[in-house]
């Protein structure tokens, strides 16, 4: 009987400490043996956002404990682990370094391969943990720090079609929540807040909706929220503003996603069009419903990760590590953290660059 490859994955790019073990299978859908995540909401709540030094200290305190717990839950013996995969970027460099140092130490001690993983590639391939997914496919990656449309052509092969030129979508949610007085982390709670309001109460701007292809912009919308919030007189109007914000986001993504569909079709000839939506904001039910509808209208099959895999987790890191292990794409122990690691290495960094939009 052939020994199955088992990868231990580690994720410490921001404020989640996570460890998971994933095993190869015969049906191309890896088996998640354990997936342990420890969040730091309580640590950062009073500051209204993530404090890098506090996050890194928490990673140091928890990482060994979580690794032991993940191995115990997986029922895997430590000498059965084939390789160690760890997020090497993008993220907070002080946090990334904690995971990398632990992963390198473990790989060195066990004398097994060490594999650095792009955190965004983890999100990009995360649906492969529960469904067979063939390349190429269109990806919308929406999280706290990233918003971009990409053509996923294969492992390590990405072409960016559009990105945000200012705020990421998750950042826009978090800032809007903060303006409305929703406690940290407010972004995930904003949708529930809006369900109690009238989505047609406020007319909000949709920046660069008719230009810039499938590039996105949310800074102007955030500014409008701030300005409008100063005129709010009661709690119900807060609910109305949250609902109007949610509706505006859904409408922006509807238009921009149709543009991305067209761009994807120009560069990919395939009989089957798949559209993956991944990242933390992909857990938003309103966005899921809107993007499911626009996908079906344009003959794309919508695919979303399980809700447990939308946020930062180590199962997706281990899964990418498994894919890289199969092709012997290993890294040396000299690999350093890269806080601005990109998926498409040829794409220009647009955020705040004043890119010309025609």
| Contacts for 67 with CB less than 8 Å, ≥ 6 apart | 8, 10, 19, 102, 106
pLDDT tens track, the chain, 358 positions: 468 999 999 999 999 999 999 999 999 899 999 999 998 867 877 777 789 899 999 999 999 999 999 999 999 999 999 999 999 999 999 999 999 999 999 999 999 999 999 999 999 999 999 999 999 999 999 998 899 999 999 999 999 999 999 999 999 999 999 999 998 778 888 999 999 999 999 999 999 999 999 999 999 999 999 999 999 999 999 999 999 999 999 999 999 999 999 999 999 988 889 999 999 999 999 999 999 999 999 999 999 999 999 999 999 999 999 999 999 999 999 999 999 999 998 876 554 433 444 3
pTM, to two decimals: 0.93
**Exposed, middle or buried by CB within 10 Å (0-12, 13-18, 19+), for 127?**
buried
| Contacts for 82 with CB less than 8 Å, ≥ 6 apart | 5, 6, 7, 112, 113, 325
Contact 36/314 with Cβ under 8 angstroms?
yes
The CATH number of 6-128+309-326, from 3.30.420.40, 3.40.50.720, 3.40.50.261, 3.40.50.880, is 3.30.420.40
**How many CB atoms neighbour CB 225 within 10 A?**
24
In sign, the C-alpha dihedral spanning 155, 32, 113, 89 is: positive
At residue 277, φ and ψ (nearest 5 deg) are -115, 120
DSSP state letters, 14-73: SSEEEEEEEE--TTSS-EEEEEEEEE-HHHHGGGTS--HHHHHHHHHHHHHHHHHHHHHH
- Domain over 133-304 is classified CATH 3.30.420.40: yes
DSSP classification of residue 151: E
If you search the block for the tokens 């447990």, which residue do you land on?
Answer: 308
Tokens of 162: 């559009």
Cα 155 from Cα 133, distance rounded (Å): 12
What pLDDT is attached to residue 354?
38
CATH 3.30.420.40, the chain: domain bounds = 6-128+309-326, 133-304
Sheet of 6-11, strands arranged across:
31-39, 16-23, 6-11, 83-89, 114-118
Chain-centroid distance, C-alpha 193: 23
What pLDDT is attached to residue 39?
83
């Amino acid at each position: 009987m052939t020994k199955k490859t088992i990868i231990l994955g580690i994720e410490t790019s921001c404020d989640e400490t996570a460890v998971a073990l994933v095993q190869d299978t015969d049906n191309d859908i890896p088996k998640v043996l354990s997936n342990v995540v420890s969040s730091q909401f309580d640590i950062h709540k009073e500051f209204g956002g993530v404090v890098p030094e506090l996050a890194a200290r928490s990673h140091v305190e928890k990482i060994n404990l979580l690794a032991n717990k993940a191995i115990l839950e997986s029922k895997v013996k430590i000498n059965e682990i084939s390789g160690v995969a760890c997020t090497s970027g993008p993220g907070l460099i002080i946090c990334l370094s904690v995971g990398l140092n632990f992963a390198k130490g473990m790989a060195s001690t066990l004398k097994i391969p060490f594999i650095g993983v792009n955190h965004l590639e983890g999100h990009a391939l995360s649906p492969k943990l529960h469904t067979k997914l063939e390349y190429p496919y269109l990806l919308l990656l929406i999280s706290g720090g990233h918003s971009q449309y990409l053509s996923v052509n294969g492992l390590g092969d990405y072409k960016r079609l559009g990105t945000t030129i200012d705020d990421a979508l998750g950042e826009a949610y978090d800032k809007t929540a903060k303006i409305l007085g929703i406690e940290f982390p407010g972004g995930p709670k904003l949708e529930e807040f809006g369900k109690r309001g009238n989505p047609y109460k406020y007319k909000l701007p949709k920046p660069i909706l008719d230009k810039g292809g499938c590039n996105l912009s949310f800074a102007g919308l955030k500014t409008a929220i701030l300005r409008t919030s100063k005129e709010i007189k009661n709690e119900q109007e807060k609910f109305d503003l949250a609902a109007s914000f949610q509706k505006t986001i859904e409408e922006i993504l509807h238009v921009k996603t149709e543009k991305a569909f067209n761009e994807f079709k120009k560069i990919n000839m395939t009989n089957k069009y798949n559209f993956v939506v991944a990242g933390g904001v992909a857990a938003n039910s309103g966005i899921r419903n809107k993007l499911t509808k626009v996908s079906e209208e344009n003959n794309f099959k919508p695919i979303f990760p399980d809700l447990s895999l939308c946020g930062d987790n180590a199962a997706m890191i281990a899964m990418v590590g498994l894919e890289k292990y199969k092709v012997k794409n290993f890294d040396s122990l000299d690999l350093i953290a890269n806080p601005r690691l990109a998926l498409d290495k040829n794409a220009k960094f647009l955020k705040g660059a004043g890119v010309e939009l025609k």
